[in-house]
Amino acid sequence: MSPEVIIQDLSKSFGSNKVLHDVNLTVKAGSALAVIGGSGSGKSVLLKSIIGLIPPDKGSKVMLDDKDYTFTPITQRSEFLDKFGMLFQGGALFDSLTIWENICFSLMHRSKIDKREAHAYAVEQLALVGLKPEVANLYPSELSGGMQKRAALARAIATKPSLIFFDEPTAGLDPIMAAVISTLIASLSKKLGATTITITHDMKCVDIVADNIAMIHGGTIVWQGDKSMLANTNNELVDNFVNGRIPTAAI
Amino acid sequence: MNFFATIGQITIKFTRAIGRFAIFLWQVACSVSSPFYLKSILRQFMDIGLLSLPVVGLTAVFTGAVLALQSYTGFSRFNAESSIASIVALSVTRELGPVLAGLMLAGRVGAAIAAEIGTMRVTEQIDALSTLNTDPLRYLVVPRIVAGLLMMPLLVIIADIIGIFGGYLVAVYKLNFSPYTYLHNTFDILQANDVRSGLIKAAAFGVIVTCMGCYHGYNSKGGAQGVGSATTNAVVSASILILITNYIITGLLF
């Protein structure tokens, strides 16, 4: 069963700089939420606060699968991490390991799976993301940006997680590769029946991967709703962002 | 007023840095538990130990050779040339072997560790380790410190032998000493305690170099510039700490 994610009054400040103000979000089990917003709006801080890489401020609440993880650092979330996968913006593949070692990293360290078995499993995962078996023995530096993203996606889904986070999955990719990655994310997430949160500012990606959308602006959620409601919203911030209009004040 | 404010700011900054480093060490100490990443530890043995051997060996042979030459210049003024072997043996094993090997390791290994871990930090590979249910300190830092602690004394034993050999080469082939007398004088003066004190220093320097590399790399920020600063800070802080620790250990073992 996929977990539900509930975030209540999540705030985060760095010194006097308040990056997140009372963010409230609910992601239902098995649904796909996309958090959109401009650069510096607090998207990445929100993601890192949810997964425990950054501790949120007092008064915040992060519930994952009915358990309060608000102030539990990521290194102490072993049980939660067993069913969690994440695709990082730059892929974050380990340079010193081959692609198959990257994909089976978690499996090899957690269970006593032997090398041959792990290699075969990695090749299966690579096939799911459209990469050939030969790629398994290469190092990340030998792959193109798009192939690295696919390999990172294969690593994110290798443990068959029920909760997956995608941080800017299409950043730095050409439009065709961006569409390929977005389609892969949507199909693989559906296949796993996972709850997903995607952080992005690419509206084409949002259209493919998300059921629900939340827009963050200045550290606050300014709009949240079903994807179909996006076209008819009266919210000026959302309208400007979705249609790429420059706000009057900025001119 | 500005002068006192500056002093205050520097003091606060310094105290904060010490506090941060102490917290880092405490977290590393808490990470020393199973699972132990044997493959990673062996790789570090190779990187820190075996691959440092040429640099440390070259430094040792020339240090021993120069030491023999310089002490000849001084001792010949009061007819004490026969003490050259003793001076080379004692200086290399007690002082120059561990200190110079430590400084060379700070440049080679400390910088490499800071650059590697720093790059992993800025490219989110350390965050990725955490999301893959792996403690980054246990996986990245502990193997390096263990390798520093165990490999550095081994390197220093080899450096001691090569350093004494460097002095022997100059004494025998350039200064026309008898090989037998030189070796006899060397082994006559050397005591187990001389080598032991050098090895204690070596273990301490190994920990200092790897800790500084890991600490600065792990806490690097920004992009390429952040990694560059982390590398510089790792080498500079390790070198300074080696010199200070050397004095403290020498004082304690004197």
pLDDT at A251 over 80: no
Contacts 24+ apart (CB under 8 A), B247-250: B249/B197, B249/B200, B249/B201, B249/B204, B250/B94, B250/B95, B250/B197, B250/B201
Strand arrangement, sheet containing A5-14: A17-27, A5-14, A61-64, A67-68
Q: What is the pLDDT of residue B111?
A: 96
Query: What is the band of A250 on the pLDDT scale with cuts at 50, 70, 90?
Result: low
Is the domain of B136 the same as that of B181? yes
Is the domain of B140 the same as that of B71? yes
Contact between residue B133 and residue A106 where contact means Cβ atoms under 8 Å apart: yes
Is there a contact between B124 and A51 if contact means CB atoms under 8 Å apart? no
Bridge-based pairing state of the strands A5-14 and A163-167 = unpaired
B215: number of CA atoms within 13 Å, CB side?
24
Reduced to 3 states (helix: H, G, I; strand: E, B; else coil), residue A224 is strand
A34-43 pLDDT, tens digit each: 999 888 888 8
Amino acid at A21: H
Nearest CA among B217, B156, B222 for reference residue B28 = B217
Q: Does B2 touch chain A (CB under 8 A)?
A: no
Query: What is the band of A172 on the pLDDT scale with cuts at 50, 70, 90?
Result: confident
Is the domain of B84 the same as that of B176? yes
* Segments forming the whole domain that contains residue B52: 34-253
Q: What is the pLDDT of residue A243?
A: 76
Is the domain of B73 the same as that of B20? no
Contact between residue A70 and residue A20 where contact means Cβ atoms under 8 Å apart: no
Is the domain of B84 the same as that of B46? yes
If one counts every other C-beta atom within 10 angstroms of the C-beta of residue B72, the result is 20
Is there a contact between B127 and A81 if contact means CB atoms under 8 Å apart? no
Most A CBs within 10 A among B27, B123, B129, B133, hence the mutation to make, goes to: B133
Q: What is the pLDDT of residue A249?
A: 63
Q: Which of A70-79, A151-160, A226-235 has the highest mean pLDDT?
A: A151-160
**Whole-Å CA distances, A4 to A104, A118, A178, B2:** 26, 31, 27, 55
Q: What is the pLDDT of residue B47?
A: 93
Q: Does B44 touch chain A (CB under 8 A)?
A: no
Quote the pTM value. Answer: 0.88
Phi, psi dihedral angles at A17 (to 5 degrees): -90, 105
The whole-angstrom separation of Cα A20 and Cα A12 is 5
Reduced to 3 states (helix: H, G, I; strand: E, B; else coil), residue B80 is coil
**Whole-Å CA distances, B194 to A73, B93, B200, B201, B233:** 47, 6, 10, 11, 32
Is the domain of B19 the same as that of B64? no
Closest partner residue to A92 (CB to CB) among B127, B134, B136 is B127
Closest partner residue to A106 (CB to CB) among B35, B125, B133 is B133
Lowest mean pLDDT among A95-99, A110-114, B8-12, B41-45: A110-114
Is the domain of B64 the same as that of B184? yes
Contact between residue B88 and residue B186 where contact means Cβ atoms under 8 Å apart: yes
Q: What is the pLDDT of residue B16?
A: 94
Q: What is the pLDDT of residue A248?
A: 66
pLDDT at A246 over 80: no
The whole-angstrom separation of Cα B149 and Cα B45 is 10
How many angstroms away from the CA of B61 is the closest CA of chain A? Answer: 34
* Positions of chain B with pLDDT under 70: 1
Q: What is the pLDDT of residue A76?
A: 79
Enter the tokens of residue A26: 């609910």
Closest partner residue to A109 (CB to CB) among B35, B119, B125 is B35
How many angstroms away from the CA of A93 is the closest CA of chain B? Answer: 7
Q: What is the pLDDT of residue A87?
A: 93
Is there a contact between A105 and B134 if contact means CB atoms under 8 Å apart? yes
Please give the full DSSP string across B182-249, using - where no structure is assigned.
HHHHHHHH--HHHHHHHHHHHHHHHHHHHHHHHHHHHT--SSHHHHHHHHHHHHHHHHHHHHHHHHHH
B106-131 pLDDT, tens digit each: 999 999 999 999 999 999 999 999 99
The whole-angstrom separation of Cα B253 and Cα B246 is 10
pLDDT at A232 over 90: no
A17-50 pLDDT, tens digit each: 889 988 888 888 889 999 998 888 888 889 898 8
Is there a contact between A81 and B124 if contact means CB atoms under 8 Å apart? no
Query: What is the band of A59 on the pLDDT scale with cuts at 50, 70, 90?
Result: confident
Q: What is the pLDDT of residue B1?
A: 63
Q: What is the 8-class DSSP label of residue B95?
A: I
Is the domain of B107 the same as that of B192? yes
Q: What is the pLDDT of residue B158?
A: 96
Task: Give the residue from chain A lying closest to B39, CA to CA.
Answer: A109
Bridge-based pairing state of the strands A67-68 and A17-27 = unpaired
Q: What is the pLDDT of residue B205?
A: 97
Number of compact structural domains in chain B: 2
Is the domain of B111 the same as that of B138? yes
Is the domain of B25 the same as that of B64? no
What is the distance of C-alpha B220 from the center of its chain? Answer: 22
Is the domain of B20 the same as that of B58? no
- For residue B133, list chain A residues with Cβ-Cβ distance below 8 A: 78, 81-82, 106, 109-110
Average the pLDDT over A143-168 and give the result. 92
**Whole-Å CA distances, A35 to A41, A58, A87, A149, A176:** 11, 23, 15, 20, 22
Query: What is the band of A104 on the pLDDT scale with cuts at 50, 70, 90?
Result: very high
Is the domain of B26 the same as that of B42? no
Reported ipTM:
0.88
